[in-house]
Amino acid sequence: MADAGARHWSAYREFWRLNFLTLMEYKVNFFIWLAFTIVYHGVALGAIWIMMSRFPSMNGWHWQQVFFLYALYMLGHTLNNTFFFTIGEVPDLVREGRFDRLLVRPLDPLFQVLSQPGQIWPDELVIALIVFILAQGAVHLQWSSSTVVLLVLATLGGAYIDFAIQLIIATLSFWVVRLDALRWVVMSLENDFTRYPLSIYNRAVRIMLAYVFPFAFMNYFPATVLLHKSAEVGYTFNPQLGWLTPVVGAVWFAAAYSFWRLGLNKYQGTGS
Partner 1 sequence: MAAAINMIIQASHLTKQFKSVRRKEGVLGTLATLFSHDYEFKDAVTDVSFDLEPGELVGYIGPNGAGKSTTIKMLTGILVPTSGHCTVNGIVPWQDRQANGRGIGVVFGQRTQLYWDLPLVESFRLLKAIYGVSQASYDRHLKKFSELLGLDEFMRTPVRQLSLGQRMRGDFAAAMMHEPAVVFLDEPTIGLDVVAKEAIRNFIASVNKERGTTFILTTHDLNDVEKLCARIILIDHGRKLYDGSIDAIKKRYGPNRLLTADFLTDAAGVDIRMPGVAVLERDGQRIRLEFERERVRADELIVALSRQADLKDVTIAEPELETIIRQIYERGLDRSGPAPQ
Partner 2 sequence: MNLAPYAEFAKRAFSREATYRAEVFTRVGSVLLRVFLLSTLWTALYRNNGAKQGISLESMITYATLALLLDLIYGVNGAYVIRQKIREGSIAIDFMRPISVPLYVFADTVGQTGFALVQIVPALVLSFPLLGLMHAHVGGPSGGIAALGFVASVALGFLLNFLIDLIMATATFWTMEIFGIQIMVQFISSLLSGSLVPLYFFPNGLQKIAFALPFAGLYNAPLSIYIGKWQGRDIALGLGEQALWLALIWFAAMAFWRRGERRVVVQGG
> Which residues form the interface with partner 2 (CB under 8 A)?
26, 28-29, 32-33, 35-36, 39-40, 43, 46-47, 50-51, 53-59, 175-182, 184-185, 188-189, 192-193, 196, 200-202, 204-205
Residue 139's contacts (CB-CB under 8 Å, 6 or more residues apart) are 64, 65, 67, 68, 227
Task: Say whether residue 42 binds partner 1 (CB under 8 A).
Answer: no
Residues 237 and 226: their CA atoms lie apart, in Å, by: 15
Task: Say whether residue 92 binds partner 1 (CB under 8 A).
Answer: no
Task: Say whether residue 271 binds partner 1 (CB under 8 A).
Answer: yes
Which of partner 2, partner 1, none does 97 bind, CB closer than 5 to 8 A by kind? partner 1
Among residues 251, 255, 218, which one has the least CA distance to residue 80?
A: 218
Q: Would you call 12 helix, strand, or coil by DSSP?
A: helix
Task: Say whether residue 14 binds partner 1 (CB under 8 A).
Answer: yes
Q: Is 84 exposed, middle or buried (0-12, 13-18, 19+ CB in 10 A)?
A: buried
Which of partner 2, partner 1, none does 15 bind, CB closer than 5 to 8 A by kind? partner 1
Question: Binders of partner 1 among 145-184, rule CB under 8 A?
Answer: none
96/192 with CB nearer partner 1: 96
Task: Say whether residue 15 binds partner 1 (CB under 8 A).
Answer: yes
CA dihedral 148, 149, 153, 154 (to 10 degrees): -40
Binding range to partner 1, per CB under 8 A, among 7-15, 83-91, 137-145, 249-257: 7-15
* Residue 197: other Cβ atoms inside 10 A: 22
